[in-house]
Amino acid sequence: SDAVVITYGDTFLSGTEKPLKTLLRFMDEKTDGSVNSLHLLPFFPYSSDDGFAVLDFSSVNEALGDWHDIEHIAQHYRLMSDLVINHCSSRSFWFENFLKGLDPGRNYFFTTDPSADLSEVIRPRTNPLLRPVETAEGTRYVWCTFSEDQVDLDFRNPDVLEQFASIIRLYLDKGIRIFRLDAIAFLWKVEGTSCLNLPETHEVVRLLRTLIEHAEESAVIITETNIPNRENLAYFGNNNEAHWIYNFSLPPLLVNALITGNSHYLKQWLMAMPPAQNGTTYFNFIASHDGIGLRPVEGLLSEEEEQQLIDTMQSFGGRISWRALDNGGNKPYEVNIALYDALKGTVKGPDKWNRERFICAHAIMLGLEGIPAFYIHSLLATGNDYHRMEHTGHNRSINRHQWDYDTLETILKDENNHHSQIFTELKRLLKIRGQQTAFHPNAVQFTLHLGDDIFGFWRQSISRKQSIFCISNISDSRTELALSSINLVTTNSWKDLISDITIDMEAESLQLAPYQTLWISNT
| Active-site choice (69, 154, 182, 453) | 182
Per-residue pLDDT, 446: 98
Contact 147, 53 (CB under 8 A): yes
182 is catalytic: yes
465-512 per-position pLDDT tens digit: 999 999 999 999 999 999 999 989 888 899 999 999 999 999 999 999
> Is 444-522 a CATH 2.60.40.1180 domain?
yes
Q: Is 462 helix (H, G, I), strand (E, B) or coil?
A: coil
pLDDT of residue 451 exceeding 90, the answer is yes
Q: Number of C-alpha atoms within 13 angstroms, CB side, residue 422?
A: 26
Least confident of 224-228, 317-321, 348-352, 468-472: 224-228
Give CA separation, 59 vs 53, 54, 172, in Å: 13, 10, 14
pTM: 0.97
Average pLDDT, the chain: 97
- The predicted model gives 125-138 an average pLDDT of 97
Report how far residue 53's alpha carbon sits from residue 222's, in angstroms, rounded to the nearest whole number.
20
- Average pLDDT for 146-154: 98
Per-residue DSSP letter, 274: P
The single-letter code of the amino acid at 135 is T
List, in sequence order, every residue forming a beta bridge with 38; answer none if it has no partner.
5, 79
**Concatenated DSSP letters for 492-511?**
S-EEETTTTEEP-TTSSEEE
Task: Work out the percent of the chain whose per-residue pLDDT is above 70.
Answer: 100
Residue 487, classified by CB atoms within 10 Å of its CB into exposed (0-12), middle (13-18) or buried (19+), is exposed
Give residue 8's pLDDT.
Answer: 99
Higher pLDDT, 507 or 328: 507
Distance, CA of 324 to CA of 347 (rounded, Å)? 28
DSSP string, 402-461: -EEHHHHHHHHH-TTSHHHHHHHHHHHHHHHHHT-GGGSTTSEEEEE---TTEEEEEEE-
Query: What is the distance between the alpha carbons of residues 89 and 212, in angstroms, rounded to a whole number?
Result: 25
Say whether pLDDT at 173 is over 90: yes
CA distance 418 to 382: 9
Helix (H, G, I), strand (E, B) or coil at 198: coil
For every residue of 147-195, DSSP letters joined together read BTTEEEB-TTSHHHHHHHHHHHHHHHHTTEEEEEETTGGG----TTS--
Provide the CA 180 distance to its chain's centre, in angstroms: 10
Alpha-carbon distance of 242 to 324, in angstroms, equals: 28
- Please, are residues 181 and 224 in contact by the beta-carbon 8 Å criterion? yes
Q: Is the model's pLDDT at 67 over the cut of 90?
A: yes
Grade residue 351 by pLDDT with cuts at 50, 70 and 90. very high
